[in-house]
């Protein structure tokens, strides 16, 4: 089955579910800080954290060398050295790694036979038929069809439900046509 298109969709969507917040509360002035791709980021200890790898309207992805971490734009401050975060590189990497481990454990616990599965655009997709190692077999809703996707294609939504990291339209486009 053709699911290469789904991998691209998953890569684009996967960066946002596990956003790590570098600060409990951003300073009021941080809202006006311009965050640009390629900018260096320094921690509250004065040491480098990493570089801004990508900027979206809502977040910036900081490459620490260990992780690519999405952070809300209001987490950034600015001083004479450039962009700053109210956290150290060690703390940011450790917090992100812990959040990712917790998210993986929660997803693994939810990936059981019979669990309902939705899409990234909140459409019902089907149920988990079986989990076989790193592959998940889905029984599609309203069809006598099963598809197999890698576990990396799944996440939990904000309510703890299992979703595929693609929209229903993207999944339908990737499905082989019948006939």
Based on the domain organization, do 61 and 114 belong to the same domain? no
Could you tell me how far CA 46 lies from the centroid of its own chain?
A: 28
Based on the domain organization, do 62 and 32 belong to the same domain? yes
pLDDT confidence of residue 178: 56
102 located within any domain: no
Structure-model confidence comparison of residues 32 and 178, the more confident one: 32
Q: Distances from the Cα of 99 to the Cαs of 18, 83, 133, 148, in angstroms?
A: 7, 24, 23, 27
* Domain range enclosing 67: 23-86
Based on the domain organization, do 145 and 118 belong to the same domain? yes
Query: What pTM was estimated for this model as a whole?
Result: 0.69
58 located within any domain: yes
Are residues 154 and 144 in contact, defined by beta-carbon separation less than 8 angstroms? no
What whole-number distance in Å separates Cα of residue 29 and Cα of residue 31? 5
Overall residue count recorded for the chain in this entry: 179
pLDDT category at 63 given cuts 50, 70, 90 is very high
pLDDT confidence of residue 14: 40
pLDDT confidence of residue 179: 47
Q: Three-state DSSP class for 124?
A: strand
Mean pLDDT of the chain: 83
């Amino acid at each position: 089955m053709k699911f290469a298109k789904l991998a691209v969709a998953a890569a684009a969507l996967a960066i946002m579910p596990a956003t790590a917040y570098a600060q409990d509360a951003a300073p009021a002035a941080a809202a006006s800080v311009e965050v640009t791709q390629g900018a260096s980021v320094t921690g509250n200890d004065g040491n480098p954290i990493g570089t801004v790898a990508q900027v979206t309207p809502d977040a910036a992805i900081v490459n620490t060398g260990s992780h690519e971490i999405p952070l809300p734009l209001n987490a950034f401050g600015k001083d004479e050295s450039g962009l700053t975060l109210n956290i150290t590189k060690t703390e940011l990497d450790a917090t992100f790694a812990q959040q990712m481990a917790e998210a993986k454990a929660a997803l693994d616990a939810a990936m059981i036979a019979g669990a309902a599965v939705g899409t990234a655009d909140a459409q019902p997709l089907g149920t988990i038929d079986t989990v076989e190692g790193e592959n998940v077999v889905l029984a599609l809703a309203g069809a006598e069809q099963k598809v197999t996707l890698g576990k990396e294609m799944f996440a939990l939504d904000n309510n703890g439900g299992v979703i595929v990291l693609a929209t229903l339209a993207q999944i339908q486009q990737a499905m082989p046509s019948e006939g």
